[in-house]
Amino acid sequence: MNRQVFIKKLLMSVLSFSFLSFSAKKRDTCYTDSDVEGPFFRSGSPSRLNLSEGFKGRGKNLTVEGIIYGKDCKTPIENALIEIWHANPEGNYDLTSDKYLFRGKIYTDKMGRYSFETLIPKGYKDGGLDRPKHIHYMIEATGHQTLITQLYFQGDEKLKNDPFVLQNKGYKRTKQLTPISSNEFKIRFDIYLKSKI
C-alpha cells in the first residue's frame, strides 16, 4: 500500500469515526433525563384525563400536553403508559384516599400525543428540602426503558437551590407556563425514551 492510499484510508476512517461519534452524541442529547421517584408514589391510580377530580379546594387550571418519542428520537410511541402524580395546590399529596387526588394513568394516542387536566401544584417542604413545584411521571413503552422523571416550572425561585434539579439536570425539564386566561394555563412537555438494553 502506497503512502497516498494509506493517508486516504486513514482520513476516511477518521471522518467516519467523527461522524459516528457526532451522531451518537446527537442521539444521546435528545433523551429525557431521569429524576427521583420520591416517597409519595402510590400504585393503583385510575385511568383518567382530569387529575383534580374530587378536589374541593381552589387552584389554577392547568392543561399539560406533549408527545412521547421513541429510541430514534423522532418516532412517536403509540399506547405508551404514563403514570402521573403531584401535590395539590396546597402542597399536599393524597396518600390514603380512594379518590387518588392528583394521580392518574393515561395512554398516548396513535401520534404519541398525551394530554391531561389538573391544577398547578404547589412546592412543599420535605424534611430539610424546600422543593419547587413539579409533576412526577413514570412512562412505560414496549422496547424502551421505563423512565421516571419530573416536570418543573420556569420562574420558580426554589429551582436554583433544589438538589434534585441540579443533580438530575432538571433545568432541561423546566418548561414555561402559557397563560390562556387569568385562571387557566397550558404547558408542553415532550419526552424522549431510551431503548431497552
Inter-residue contact 85 to 37 (CB < 8 Å): no
- Name the grid cell of 184: 387557566
Distance (Å, whole) CA 2 – CA 122? 70
pLDDT of residue 69: 98
Within 10 angstroms of residue 45's Cβ, the number of other Cβ atoms is 18
Distance (Å, whole) CA 2 – CA 197? 43
Inter-residue contact 147 to 34 (CB < 8 Å): yes
Give pTM, 2 decimals.
0.84
- Name the grid cell of 49: 384525563
Domain boundaries, the chain: 1-30, 31-192
- Residue 68, phi then psi, degrees to nearest 5: -100, 120
- Name the grid cell of 102: 392528583
Domain at 31-192, CATH from 3.10.310.10, 2.60.130.10, 2.20.25.10, 3.30.470.10? 2.60.130.10
pLDDT of residue 8: 40
Among the residue ranges 17-21, 42-46, 110-114, 172-176, the one predicted with the least confidence is 17-21
